[in-house]
Chain A
Amino acid sequence: MKGNEALAEAAIRAGCDAYFGYPITPQSEVLEYLAREMPLRNRIVLQAESEVASINMVYGGAGAGFRVMTSSSSPGISLMQEGISYMAGAELPALIVNVNRAGPGLGTIQPGQGDYFQATKGGGHGDYRLIVLAPASVQEMADHVYLGFDMADKYRNPVMILSDGAIGQMMEKVRFYDYTPPTTPKPWATVGKPATRGRNYITSLHIQPEQMELHNNRLEAKFNEIRNNEVRFDEMETEDAEFLFIAYGLSSRICRKAVELAREKGIRVGLLRPITLFPYPYERLGILAQQTKLMLTVELNSGQMIEDVRLAVNGKVPVFHYGRMGGIVPTPEEIVHHLENLIGITHAN
């Protein structure tokens, strides 16, 4: 199955009540798949007039207490940032999928990881965080849908799946494991006010400075709880690693091969693959910094995640970046070659 289709099928199995989206390459398969399958199950699928409308429909549906989602690719995700900020402010759970293409601007439809900053550092205005999941396989495209919806409901916060054009388009085997959506009570939802309770309203507006700051503090406490509970990562050959690749999504797949190639050459390199980009595995990287001599982030951008790695290791070990852009994907050989050069340079120093 294609990554995008696996994600769409998982959405159905996750009990997604409504999907709102707008066509954009390379993720239109999600909308197409759900346009075909959702009506057969009496669920809502709606092609909106824009990504702006899509995300606000997601806002409305989430505010009414339903499991709702949208998907898009980089330029469309930029258009959604206003709505995402409002959702974070109003504490609305929903799933947003970004099948990242290379940019900036209209860019190209080939895969990219240039939206890392946008996804993990805010993107929209104001103080908020998205929970960000980075699938590296078609299997994870499906699995992260369940995980994403559950975390969104648990924390009342939007969750983003940050995929890319390659993971979205590639075909792999996928197994949909048994999943029953949790029945998360949503007493805050606007479903019509019964006589037994006061009115519910969904808003991100707190005009009094004291009220706004209180709200900000409450959100920050929630983000800290997420930082404490939800860090997820995957490791390969790190036990004896002198050198470490750090990569997520598509570039982590290439790094797996690069680790094998380098090990054949006798270079003891490992891989840390963050699965959650927010919260980020700072702590684990800090520990790995004690045993490694050099770290290399491999990203399909000009160097974004490297800033988080540098924060994590806090100067204990040199951190470098290797990136290709424009939708060009590096080969494992290219990455090993770059690592060898870096090892040579640092040894010479």
Chain B
Amino acid sequence: MVSLMQTDELLLPATAVEAPDTVCAPVEEEEYEVVYQRPHTLVERSMHYCPGCAHSLVHKLLMEVVEELGIQEQTIGVAPVGCSVFAYDYMDIDMQEAAHGRAAAVATAIRRLMPDRYVFTYQGDGDLAAIGIAETIHAVNRGENILIVFMNNAVYGMTSGQMAPTTLAGMKTTTSPYGRNQPMHGNTMKVSELLAQLPGAYYVTRQAVNSANAVRRTKKALLNAFKYQPQHKGTCIVEILANCPSNWRMTPVETSKFIDEEMVKTFPLGDIKVPKPETV
């Protein structure tokens, strides 16, 4: 079991390195069949995320889904305040940057004014579960036809690892240095379970991206959520347990183990609310 011990060592995100203009020479290109490549909906540039961070992977999955559904021209994303504040630098779609916590309100207006578009928010747990919980609950309760991609790494990532509403009991963060305990810090908030109670929530699922299988399931969940949007049935929430090596003070491999061994005890993976089969 990986320990979340505090260390005196300050771990800084690795500096992003500009990719050279020519990544690979076009020699002998015809001899190989391309079986996998960056979706063209993802901007070709190096990302600012830390090595082992889940954001870059989920950005790619989202943009793969947008590409596969052929909805690049109809999709508008809303970025949060948090590590993924620069999401619009990487996703080759129209996007809006919302104030901290307000993405669901911003997305509400976009989708109401353009009901034929696909609208998603991309939010971390500090953004969505703390400062933005009111906007989130009310958007879901109204059944806004948006997708909320909820990145849960149990800490505030961008401000370097403070306690979030989603921080696990006993988990050490920079603002719960002796471990989260209920009398002092309150309980861990399970937002997806909370939102699933609301009649406006159509599809709620919790996934992870810490293994090849988990990545495939997450992509499937995102694909489902996008497919539901034109049906005007309500809000889709895809929560993703997100590796955060820098703020958990772990190696990327350790973070994947931490998700499997610790996080899922509080945040079990799988569908929380699925659409009822239509009676035709």
Contacts and interface: CB of A to CB of B under 8 A. Distances in A.
Nearest to A66: B113
Interface string A176-191: 0000000000000011
> Which of B109, B110, B135 is most buried by chain A, counting CB atoms within 10 A of its CB?
B109
Given A56-B99, A59-B106, A193-B73, 19 more contacts: A20-B109, A46-B112, A53-B102, A56-B98, A56-B102, A56-B105, A57-B105, A57-B109, A59-B98, A59-B102, A60-B106, A60-B108, A193-B92, A199-B88, A200-B94, A200-B95, A201-B95, A201-B96, A204-B97
Contact of B135 (A49, A64, A195): A49
B151 interface: no
B43 to A, nearest CB: 8
A261 B88 CA distance: 62
Contacts of B58: none
25 contacts: A18-B113, A44-B109, A48-B105, A53-B108, A53-B134, A53-B138, A56-B99, A56-B105, A59-B99, A59-B106, A59-B109, A61-B112, A61-B113, A63-B96, A64-B110, A66-B113, A68-B109, A190-B95, A191-B76, A192-B93, A193-B93, A194-B73, A201-B88, A201-B95, A204-B97
Contacts of B94: 190-193, 199-201
Nearest to B141: A49
Contacts of A64: 76, 96, 109-110, 113-114
B73 A44 contact: no
> Which of B97, B105, B110 is most buried by chain A, counting CB atoms within 10 A of its CB?
B105
A82 interface: yes
Interface in B69-110: 72-76, 78-79, 85-86, 88, 91-99, 102, 105-110
A341 interface: no
Contact of B106 (A50, A56, A204): A56
Contacts of B78: 60
A89 to B, nearest CB: 10
A60 B117 CA distance: 14
Contacts of A203: 79, 88, 96-97
Contact of B109 (A18, A49, A50): A18
Nearest to A45: B112
Contact size range, B: 20 to 34
A205 interface: yes
Nearest to B103: A56
A86 interface: yes
Given A49-B134, A60-B109, A192 B75 contact: yes
Contact of A60 (B73, B110, B138): B110
Contacts of A68: 109, 113
A133 interface: no
Interface of A: 17-18, 20, 44, 46, 48-50, 52-54, 56-61, 63-64, 66, 68, 82-83, 86, 90, 190-195, 199-205
A50 B93 contact: no
A202 B97 contact: yes
> Which of B72, B78, B99, B108 is most buried by chain A, counting CB atoms within 10 A of its CB?
B99
A82 B96 CA distance: 16
> Which of A52, A83, A199 is most buried by chain B, counting CB atoms within 10 A of its CB?
A199
B104 to A, nearest CB: 8
A290 B92 CA distance: 59
A276 B76 CA distance: 36
Nearest to B74: A192
A175 to B, nearest CB: 30
Nearest to B116: A192
B97 A53 contact: no
A52 B102 CA distance: 8
A17 to B, nearest CB: 6
B110 A63 contact: yes
A57 B135 CA distance: 10
Interface in B151-171: none
A150 to B, nearest CB: 20
A122 B114 CA distance: 32
Contacts of A52: 102, 105, 134-135
B135 A192 contact: no
Contacts of B86: 205
Given A83-B99, A201-B96, A191 B114 contact: yes
